[in-house]
Amino acid sequence: MPGLSFLFAGKMREPHFEAAFAEYIKRLGGYTKCEVREIAEQKLPERPSEREIAAALAREAREFEKAIPKGAYVCALCVEGEQRTSEQLARKLGELDGRGVSRLCFLVGGSYGLDEGLKKRADWRLSMSRMTFPHHLARVMLAEQVYRAYTINAGKLYHK
Amino acid sequence: MPGLSFLFAGKMREPHFEAAFAEYIKRLGGYTKCEVREIAEQKLPERPSEREIAAALAREAREFEKAIPKGAYVCALCVEGEQRTSEQLARKLGELDGRGVSRLCFLVGGSYGLDEGLKKRADWRLSMSRMTFPHHLARVMLAEQVYRAYTINAGKLYHK
């Protein structure tokens, strides 16, 4: 199964989300190599303009692009992306493995999501929900779903 | 805005999910009265049969029904339910308030979800994702979305 890179904008602040995320990454480590990197989240005023947001996301996009491993298959998380069930996600990751993808790179933006251009350039746009979740909680949800997918593909019983 | 009852099958085990959930319930307490109740999750073997699962869910359903406050509007969480964006959820909760609903009761099942009959009898079936999440994580996601909805309806800036 492909190695994993999780690239995130901003540092985790809530110890409970950090602990939950770390638990899934630890479990994923039993299946494959995992790398987690946080790029700096651009500072914005409390009620930023559309233009300020776009400029900040563009700067973050450049940092994301520097951090994406060469040859990785890039999956951008966004609310408007493709929805899959957990089983369908597992199947997709299995297919990528079958195609010889050796590294899968997931991108999760900060409070304002990801740059439009970055999303377009990604190989795949995945949505976990039509609802908007705080990006720190979204990291936990993503790590859990990827762990679940690897467990499904390994034919193991998911530890509930 | 309506008072809230969160009814769950089984006890929280992971301290990080418990802390995350408690944080959102504390914040929700600034908007309305919140009640959280856990009903006993029926014990099942590691690989239960369909019949064993159905029997356990039926027993849990009876406990849920005893715990549902009289006159509450009941929302059952399930993967096949209706999907809404966060803004659409806020609108729905606002509409229920406008109709005079004074208590909203959310049901989250255990590892095997909710009894089919219980879901049918609920006033509304809501899906947060096509993906299957662990029910303890689903509680955190639900509390966050309800908190977000109340914040949207109060016209306040969501604290990201």
Instruction: Please give the ipTM for the structure prediction.
Output: 0.95
Predicted model pTM: 0.96
Total Cβ atoms within 10 A of residue A38: 17
Q: Give the structural domain span for B51.
A: 3-153
Of A17, A128, A160, the CB nearest to B129: A128
Chain A residues with beta carbon closer than 8 angstroms to that of B131: 84-86, 89, 128, 145
Is A22 buried (19+), middle (13-18) or exposed (0-12) by CB count in 10 A?
A: middle
B78 membership: H or E segment, kind and range: strand B73-83
**CB-CB neighbors (< 8 A) of A140 in chain B:** 137
For the segment B129-150, the average pLDDT, to the nearest whole number, is 98
Size of chain B, expressed as the number of residues it contains: 160
Q: Is the pLDDT of residue A142 over 80?
A: yes
Contact A131 B86 (CB under 8 A): yes
Q: What is the mean pLDDT of chain A?
A: 96
The pLDDT tens digits of the residues spanning A74-99 come to: 999 999 999 999 999 999 999 999 99
By C-alpha distance, the chain B residue nearest A89 is: B131
A26-82 residue pLDDT tens: 999 999 999 999 999 999 998 999 999 999 999 999 999 999 999 999 999 999 999
Residue A58 and residue A50: Cα distance in Å, rounded?
12
Say which amino acid occupies A27: R
Rounded to an integer, what distance in angstroms lies between the CA atom of residue B62 and that of residue B19? 29
Residue A160 domain-assigned (yes or no):
no
| A158, part of any domain | no
Is the torsion defined by CA of A114, A120, A123, A124 positive or negative? Answer: positive
Q: Using alpha carbons only, what angle is made at residue B107 by residues B117 and B29, rounded to the nearest 5 degrees?
A: 160
Q: What is the CATH number of the domain that holds B72?
A: 3.40.1280.10
* Tally of domains in chain B: 1
In a domain, A68, yes or no: yes
Do the domain assignments include residue A113? yes
Q: Is the pLDDT of residue A157 over 90?
A: no
B160 domain residue, yes or no: no
Nearest to A129 among B129, B135, B140 (CB): B129
In a domain, A125, yes or no: yes
Per-residue H/E/C for A72-124: CEEEEEEEEEEECCHHHHHHHHHHHHHCCCCEEEEEECECCECCHHHHHHCCE
B interface with A, Cβ–Cβ < 8 A, is: 14-17, 19-20, 23, 46-47, 79, 83-86, 89, 111, 128-135, 137, 140-141, 144-145, 148, 157, 160
The one-character DSSP state at B100 is T
**B25 Ramachandran zone, left/alpha/beta (phi>0; psi -120 to 50):** alpha
Q: Kindly state the DSSP code that residue A29 receives in the 8-state scheme.
A: T
